[in-house]
């Protein structure tokens, strides 16, 4: 793989009010400004689990998927009219094993795990975007999916796994953006940071058994699962990722990484 391939990202995507958080917006904006301009963006979000692998809308202007409840009306009026990416969809399908079917859901617009961070990182909505489903939550199978998608990086495709480094929503007591991180969130985040710094993919794969703060940090694991697509797309699994964003929001760890 050439030195000019796009990196791959795992980012903590936030809820719709992310766009009102000045610090996080500045962090995401600075991150995207330092990336090469992508030819297209491929997103795997915690908010779309569907097997077999399913490819979302490829047409420009497909309505967004407002997959959340209880927020102010303005968050349901957001638009993000990014160009469709039908050629990228064809390439993704072609990279999958012959014995594994690929489904298509043309009416499935970007969910908030995709469009909320992208609206900050690429506010002009001028880069083609394609979302695909999480076909499994098994870390090793997701690593293999990332490996299959890796060649797309040579063509300038930005691969994003969108989740949240901790996501124990049922156990939060303070929902303010500046809430202090509960012990389980801080402990899991510190462990994840150490495992990233050591490029310890094996420990990350076994996070349910090895990470402190479990199962409170991830009572369900779909928000950590996209990480493994990103790690699988790495050119060298033993290379230490850049840890671009850290800290907490509503007590949840927003640690986000970039792999070469």
| pLDDT given at position 3 | 52
| pLDDT given at position 1 | 41
Query: Model confidence over 42-91: pLDDT tens digits?
Result: 999 999 999 999 999 999 989 999 988 888 899 999 999 999 999 999 99
In the sheet that holds 40-49, the strands lie side by side as: 103-104, 54-55, 129-134, 40-49, 157-163, 8-12, 256-259, 242-245
CATH of the domain at 125: 3.40.830.10
CA atoms within a 13 Å half-sphere pointing along the CA-CB vector of 173: 5
Determine how many CB atoms are found less than 10 A away from the CB of residue 172: 18
Q: Is the dihedral of CA 124, 150, 7, 199 positive or negative?
A: positive
Vertex 240: Cα angle to 239 and 244 (nearest 5):
135
Residue 3 lies in a domain: no
List, in order, residues 6 or more apart from 159 with CB less than 8 Å away. Answer: 6, 8, 9, 42, 44, 146, 149, 152, 153, 229, 230, 233
| Residue corresponding to tokens 């060298």 | 236
| pLDDT given at position 235 | 85
List, in order, residues 6 or more apart from 80 with CB less than 8 Å away. Answer: 64, 110, 115, 118, 119, 125
| pLDDT given at position 17 | 86
Q: Are strands 8-12 and 40-49 parallel, antiparallel or unpaired?
A: unpaired
Q: What is the pTM of this model?
A: 0.96
Once rounded to an integer, what is the mean pLDDT over residues 164-175?
94
List, in order, residues 6 or more apart from 101 with CB less than 8 Å away. Answer: 52
Residue 196 lies in a domain: yes
- Do residues 67 and 111 make contact, with C-beta atoms less than 8 angstroms apart? yes
- Do residues 75 and 16 make contact, with C-beta atoms less than 8 angstroms apart? yes
Give me the residues paired with residue 158 across strands: 41
Segments forming the whole domain that contains residue 40: 8-259
The structural domain count of the chain equals: 1
Q: How far apart are CA 87 and CA 89, in angstroms?
A: 5
Residue 2 lies in a domain: no
pLDDT at 2 exceeding the cut of 70: no
Once rounded to an integer, what is the mean pLDDT over residues 131-145?
98
């Amino acid at each position: 793989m050439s030195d000019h391939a796009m990196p791959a990202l795992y980012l903590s995507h936030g809820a719709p009010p992310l766009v009102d958080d000045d610090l996080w917006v500045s962090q995401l904006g600075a991150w995207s400004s330092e990336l090469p301009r992508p030819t297209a963006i491929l997103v795997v979000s915690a908010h779309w689990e569907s097997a077999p692998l399913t490819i979302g809308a490829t047409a420009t202007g497909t309505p967004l998927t407002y997959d959340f409840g209880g927020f102010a009306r303005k968050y349901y009026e957001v638009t993000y009219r990014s160009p469709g990416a039908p050629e990228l969809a064809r390439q993704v399908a072609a990279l999958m094993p012959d014995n594994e079917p690929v489904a298509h859901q043309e009416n499935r617009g970007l969910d908030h795990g995709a469009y909320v961070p992208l609206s900050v990182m690429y506010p002009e909505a001028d880069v083609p975007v394609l979302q695909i489903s999480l076909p499994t939550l098994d870390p090793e199978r997701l690593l293999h999916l990332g490996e299959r998608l890796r060649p797309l990086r040579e063509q300038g495709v930005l691969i994003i796994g969108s989740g949240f480094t901790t996501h124990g929503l049922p156990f939060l007591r303070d929902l303010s953006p500046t809430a202090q991180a509960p012990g389980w969130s801080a402990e899991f985040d510190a462990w994840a940071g150490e495992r990233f710094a050591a490029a310890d993919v094996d420990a990350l794969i076994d996070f349910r058994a090895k990470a402190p703060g479990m199962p409170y940090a991830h009572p369900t694991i779909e928000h950590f699962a996209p990480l493994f697509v990103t790690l699988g797309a790495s050119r060298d699994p033993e290379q230490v990722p850049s840890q671009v964003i850290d800290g907490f929001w509503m007590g949840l760890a927003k640690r986000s990484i970039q792999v070469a």
